[in-house]
């Protein structure tokens, strides 16, 4: 084992603070990665504050972070796909049993033995897994991704969660040219959703509560922007969408978006608010509409998404911050004051 620097929360109400954690020495199939950048996902905040206590209670200390890009420093003797010096990514998953039907279907996130990058059961050291707010991580090479060399590593880090979480449902729902696609909530996930929908050829409409994001939404690739608090603007789009991706982190009215779907249209929730959202069944009945959820994506599809980003030159729009600003960044994220993802420069951790 070796020591790594990290930022951890000691309880649901404590700020994140510098600490030391233990990482395992690489097994024959592991890669050791020096973390260069880690994105800040709203799920980090939900977990640190134990907002998902009824589904996945947080065990403290908690080191969040699952949008990791770094440099491989060491590989186990049986590792085939990586060598020291390679750029590598780690997303939300670090392990699965590799044999069950879900793993065979390449949706390891649904494996009964899936281990999330943080707050998951650590099979090697006991206790809980520690995530990417750290200067190093050790993972089985099955869960390390290749990051295209033409992508800026700070902007590529958020692809490992925000990227795959928006790419996967769009591919599954057949987003393509000629489709009208809505993206609700222009945050970390939402702005990636806009970029993917545009790159896939759809007509893209952003729904935002923040009127000041209008220009940005258009620059990011939206064809139209609707300020969702404006009932008149909403009404113009009634019954017209093939697909809407809802990436909102807090309570809001999903029925208003179901109303905007055309016959057979689909609304997929990727946002994971703390409290349940009321749904009117009549909104779905009239028009044979469907409401779905989507959880990140499997490893194979995550690699496909990264390669797609390499081909199309897609990265996240990031504000790079030192780790010492992480608590302030959480408060700003809650105020929707982030354009459009914080990416932590892990070099700043050397000062701790
Ligand atoms: N399904 C998955 O696998 C998965 C993966 C990652 C994250 N998530 C979840 O997805 C959600 C979004 O994550 P994120 O990192 O993109 O968060 P984020 O950057 O904070 O973005 C959330 C956006 O939601 C909108 N919003 C916030 N509060 C709102 C409210 N009260 N009413 C209406 N809109 C509101 C804001 O957009 P506007 O200013 O444009 O209105 C905000 O920018 C979180 O719940 C996160 O845990 C799920
Ligand atoms: Zn995430
Ligand atoms: Zn499995």
Give 237-271 pLDDT, tens digit per residue.
999 999 999 999 999 999 999 999 999 999 999 99
226 lines ligand 1 (CB under 6 A): no
First to last CA, the chain: 20
pLDDT band at 209 (very low <50, low <70, confident <90, very high): very high
Model pTM greater than 0.95?
yes
Percent of the chain with pLDDT over 70: 100
Tokens read off for 278: 């009321």
Ligand nearest to the CA of 257: 1
Q: What is the pLDDT of residue 178?
A: 96
Atom of ligand 1 nearest to the CA of 190: 16
Quote the ligand 1 centre to 185 CA distance (angstroms).
Answer: 6
Mean pLDDT value of segment 333-347: 97
168 lines ligand 1 (CB under 6 A): no
| Residues 6 or more apart in contact with residue 304 via CB below 8 angstroms | none
Closest-CA residue to 17 (of 64, 69, 67, 66): 64
Tokens read off for 273: 């608010």
CA distance 58 to 54: 10
Backbone conformation region of residue 79, classed left if phi is above 0, alpha if psi is from -120 to 50, else beta: beta
310 lines ligand 1 (CB under 6 A): no
Q: What is the pLDDT of residue 31?
A: 98
Q: What is the pLDDT of residue 296?
A: 98
Tokens read off for 160: 């490992």
Contact 43, 58 (CB under 8 A): no
Ligand nearest to the CA of 99: 3
pLDDT band at 129 (very low <50, low <70, confident <90, very high): very high
189 lines ligand 1 (CB under 6 A): yes
334 lines ligand 1 (CB under 6 A): no
> Which of 110, 225, 271 most suits a substitution to test ligand 1, by most atoms within 8 Å of the C-beta?
271
Q: What is the pLDDT of residue 322?
A: 98
CA distance 198 to 202: 6
CA distance 1 to 20: 12
Q: What is the pLDDT of residue 303?
A: 98
Q: What is the pLDDT of residue 352?
A: 93
């Amino acid at each position: 084992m070796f020591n790594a620097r990290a930022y951890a929360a000691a309880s649901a109400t404590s700020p994140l603070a510098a600490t030391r954690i233990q990482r395992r020495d690489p097994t024959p199939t592991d890669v050791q990665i020096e973390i260069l950048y880690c994105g800040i996902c709203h799920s980090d905040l939900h977990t640190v504050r134990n907002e998902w206590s009824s589904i996945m209670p947080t065990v403290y200390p908690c080191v969040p972070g699952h949008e990791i890009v770094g440099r491989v420093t060491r590989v186990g003797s049986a590792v085939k796909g990586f060598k020291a010096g390679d750029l590598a990514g780690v997303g939300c998953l670090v392990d699965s049993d590799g044999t069950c039907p879900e793993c065979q279907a390449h949706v390891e996130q649904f494996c009964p033995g899936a281990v999330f990058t943080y707050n998951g059961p650590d099979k090697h050291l006991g206790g809980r897994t520690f995530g990417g707010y750290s200067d190093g991580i050790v993972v089985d090479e099955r869960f390390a991704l290749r990051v295209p060399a033409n992508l800026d590593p700070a902007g590529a880090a958020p692809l490992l969660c925000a990227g795959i979480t928006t790419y996967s449902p769009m591919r599954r729902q057949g987003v393509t040219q000629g489709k009208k696609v809505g993206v609700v909530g222009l945050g970390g996930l939402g702005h990636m959703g806009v970029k993917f929908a545009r790159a896939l050829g759809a007509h893209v409409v952003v729904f935002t509560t923040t009127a000041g994001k209008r220009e940005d939404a258009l620059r990011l690739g939206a064809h139209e922007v609707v300020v969702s608090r404006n009932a008149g603007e909403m009404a113009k789009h009634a019954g017209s969408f093939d697909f809407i991706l809802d990436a909102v982190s807090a309570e809001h009215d999903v029925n208003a978006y179901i109303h905007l779907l055309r016959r057979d249209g689909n609304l997929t929730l990727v946002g994971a608010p703390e409290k349940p959202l009321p749904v009117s069944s009549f909104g779905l009945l009239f028009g044979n509409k469907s409401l779905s959820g989507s959880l990140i994506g499997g490893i194979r599809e995550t690699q496909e998404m990264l390669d797609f980003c390499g081909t199309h030159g897609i990265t996240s729009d990031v504000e790079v911050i030192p780790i010492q600003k992480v608590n302030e960044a959480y408060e700003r994220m809650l105020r929707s004051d982030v354009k459009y993802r914080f990416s932590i420069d892990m070099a700043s951790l050397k000062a701790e």
